[in-house]
Structure 1
């Protein structure tokens, strides 16, 4: 019994390492991180304002883009407080329950982003394959239901994860996390207990959400390409495919880092900790930064509406 008391407990807090081996350069490292967080929040909020204030953008495609922007804001805010606290103030402690809450929202927003990208691929499929019925299929009520289903799916999928971690026993002492935020695989590995259930449930969540979404997105674009190849004019084919470029880039920006994180956590345990930390940062920070840039560059209506919002703010 005494052995159990000494070696099995729930930690009051975790100690976040941040970027291992780079602690002396935290001040310099904070500059690009703060810049990326600023770009992510500013860009995505501009998209939300542009869609809201521009009646011509009140269409299904731009409603889904607003969902993506809102998700990116949530994903950014999930990691910003702890990351900047580590880099600016060397504040590395995070309470056990606070860690689980951050982890829940972090992974939930990732699942939501994957689901929104799938919804956007469905939007492109309907717009290209059945343009005459586009407005009838994707009504405002349908879009609202899709949004609610996306949030419900992420919540239900991730809800058991914190409780599965709370049931575990952790070893005494300072428990070190490899990142400046709470990542499920990182927290799970700190337990001094059998984590088989956690591993299998985590794998189930990844496969049933991001895995299924990626397959359905590939299927959507296979059908889209089949429709496009049936068009007589090469110019018409190019014009039609051009409407998908922004979404394809957003898919690549999200899924390539996701695959990288999954592969490294499962097969790259021998890699230096700094590699794990940097890949996780790319996975969580880069998509919210790049998505507004991609859509502002590739979508003329969005670019025009964003510039209009900026000019209005400048005059105000």
Structure 2
């Protein structure tokens, strides 16, 4: 089976590292320099103090026709519209797997009514060290859910047991995305503004109070049915990733744009639709947007 991965960030490289031994994988990068480096020096996976190199095929996105049975789109939310505009020639039978944070990308998929589309959530900890190196900082799972069409050859992925890279399936894509959105909406903005690792939100009493206040607002804006389960999920993930920097904090530290619009922006919009005020979400939204300008 041919697997394509659009995006040479942490999740794209991590997915390629684990799938390459089992499938024919091609990584489509934004820059030619990264593609050349991956082809010449191979992909390097770091985990628990050990390293391994993996041969991969990489090409700059748009420079080669995509011939994939399953195509993972791992770019950030804000790059997705640009990528979708250039995917019209992907084989019709291919299954497109979207691995974005937040839920803002759902509106972009309305133009792809007849395509096989799968939505995914990644709970692994991954850190891109350089253009060819990804560190697997925490083993989690990838959950997939059919959005429309059929799974196609993506079903093979769910039937293969890959050590330290499990994949699961759920029928309810909306709950899957909402659960991840709530976690991201609480942990990411706070760690970004406070400049702390995830675990500090639980360790410092005042930070945990901030978490609880923010969660209460997110819960109301999204009309969550089981608030206690959602809160326990946040606490559990925060504890499991205690030593990790959130993706939003990492983006700010590296002078990159964050996904605050796809995460808190979505929550704020949902609140407006329900007539719910979200002052804390708006405060953090503008704080992170301002920090993007100053990095």
- Is the shorter-chain TM-score for this pair beyond 0.5, marking a shared fold? no
More strand by share: 2
Q: TM-score range by the shorter chain?
A: under 0.3
Structure of higher CA gyration radius: 1
Task: State TM-score, norm by structure 2.
Answer: 0.27
